[in-house]
Amino acid sequence: MSRSKLLILDANLVIRLHELGLWTAVIERYEVRLARTVVEESMYFEKDGQRIELDLTGDINATKITVFDVEVSDTKRFLAKFDRTYAEKLDAGELESLVHLDQSSDDLCLASGDAIVYKVLGLLNRADQGISLEEALQRIGLSVAGLPWLCLKAFREKYTTEGQQDFIRGRGLRK
pLDDT tens sequence across 131-142? 999 999 999 999
Q: Give the integer Cα–Cα distance in Å for 137 and 111.
A: 11
What pLDDT is recorded for position 2? Answer: 65
Rounded CA separation 9/114 (Å): 9
Look up the pTM and report it.
Answer: 0.92
User: What is the average pLDDT score of the chain?
Assistant: 92
Q: Which helix (H) or strand (E) holds 14?
A: helix 11-19
Nearest 5°: phi and psi at 147?
-65, 145
Give, in words, the CATH class of 4-168: alpha beta
Lowest mean pLDDT segment, chosen from 41-55, 61-75, 126-140, 161-175: 41-55
Is residue 23 over pLDDT 90?
yes
- Nearest partner of 2 among 34, 33, 31, judged by Cα: 31
Whether residue 24 has pLDDT greater than 60: yes
H/E stretch holding 44: strand 44-47
At residue 61 the predicted structure's pLDDT band, cuts being 50, 70 and 90, is: very high
pLDDT at 155: 98
Diameter over CA atoms, the chain: 49
Residue 172 pLDDT: 96
Lowest mean pLDDT among 6-15, 57-66, 81-90: 6-15
**Edge-to-edge strand order for the sheet containing 130-131?**
65-68, 30-35, 4-8, 109-111, 130-131
CA distances from 5 to 89, 105, 110, 163 (A): 25, 12, 9, 23
Q: What is the pLDDT of residues 110-137, one digit of tens each?
A: 999 999 999 999 999 999 999 999 999 9
Question: What is the full DSSP assignment across 86-146?
Answer: HHTT--HHHHHHHHHHHH--S--EEE-S-HHHHHHHHHTT-GGGEE-HHHHHHHTT---TT
